Amino acid sequence: MRPIAVVLVVVAMVFAGLTAFVAMRWLDVQSSRKSDAQVTATLDVLVVARDVAAGTPLADEDLRYDAWPTAAATDRFVIRKPGEEPKTQFIGQVARRPLSEGEPFAPASSFKQEGVGVLAGVLKAGMRAVSVAISNASAVSGFVAPGDRVDVVMAADFQRADSESVGNGGPIVRYAAETILEDVKVLAIDQQMSRGKDGAAIQGKTATLEVTSKQAEVLTAAGMVGQLSLVLRGVGVEAAVPDQKPRVPFTSDTEASKAMQALMGGGPAKPKAAPRTGGGGSGVVINRAGDISNKSF
């Protein structure tokens, strides 16, 4: 092969390599620009402009648009498209739950007032609202607030002893308390559905609780039996602590008072005694607020 031919072949190979290199660089640059464009692409998402309490009608100042990356937007967001203004349809609607500043606004977070009351709109599907009478003493000095979780305890005078029992050293009254509902949500204190400013205590005469239909019946019946008290639950996860010994599912006066135990001549509620069978005569089993005894005739 002639030297000139060798030189031409080498030059051609060099130019081919340079062309391939330039083409690859160009493709890399275009791909990078496309990726950057995808990352920086944003949408106008409707968000909460300031904290809004549950049951509060939404004003124009409560909502605003923020730029969100397109990749982070979901179908539940309210997105403003060119020529549209979706925020206006939510002005005047009522917040179904407390809304926090900066969170994306979802249509399910509010409801229209037409044809439905504020409290009915706040209730979860299938739940009921029922009110119970409270006082400072029965509602943790007013520190039970809307949104808190509580247990409901009923305390009552379950038995008034007759003169014969008193003459024999029996109790004049027998009290007991038991937890009838656990972990229920407080919807409102009187007609206030949001917490007081700076966490101030709310003084009220009624507390409205979110319960099931069966729990509503339990509360109504318990209110006629005795006094109801709200026991505030903490926000932390409760550790399971096994009982040291078996106990009855309520607390009687003999368990709460050592003086009452002494008057009764024993301790807390005793195990249930088996009824007498056979033999002469008959008998009955007497249950005095958990204190079981037999009486023969």
Domain boundaries defined on the chain: 42-119, 123-232, 251-296
pLDDT at 154 over 90: yes
pLDDT at 254: 78
**Bridge partners of residue 173, in order along the sequence:** 160
Q: How far is the C-alpha of 297 from the C-alpha of 282, rounded, in Å?
A: 5
Q: Enumerate long-range contacts of 82-88, CB under 8 Å, 24 or more apart.
A: 86/46, 87/46, 87/60, 87/63
Cβ neighbours for 268, distance < 8 A, ≥ 6 positions apart: 248, 252, 254, 255, 261, 290
CATH 3.90.1210.10 for domain 42-119, yes or no, is yes
Q: How far is the C-alpha of 193 from the C-alpha of 191, rounded, in Å?
A: 6
Mean pLDDT (whole number) for 133-160: 87
pLDDT at 210: 95
The mean pLDDT value of the chain amounts to: 78
Going by pLDDT thresholds of 50, 70 and 90, the confidence category of residue 184 is: very high
Considering only residues 120 and 285, tell me which one the structure prediction assigns the higher pLDDT.
120
Mean pLDDT (whole number) for 159-179: 65
pLDDT at 289: 58
279, 269 in Cβ contact below 8 A? no
pLDDT tens digit string along 229-276?
A: 999 998 776 655 555 555 567 888 778 888 877 776 655 445 445 555
Cβ neighbours, 10 Å, residue 257: 13
pLDDT at 262: 76
Going by pLDDT thresholds of 50, 70 and 90, the confidence category of residue 13 is: confident
Going by pLDDT thresholds of 50, 70 and 90, the confidence category of residue 111 is: confident
- Which has the minimum average pLDDT: 80-89, 108-117, 277-286? 277-286
pLDDT at 180: 94
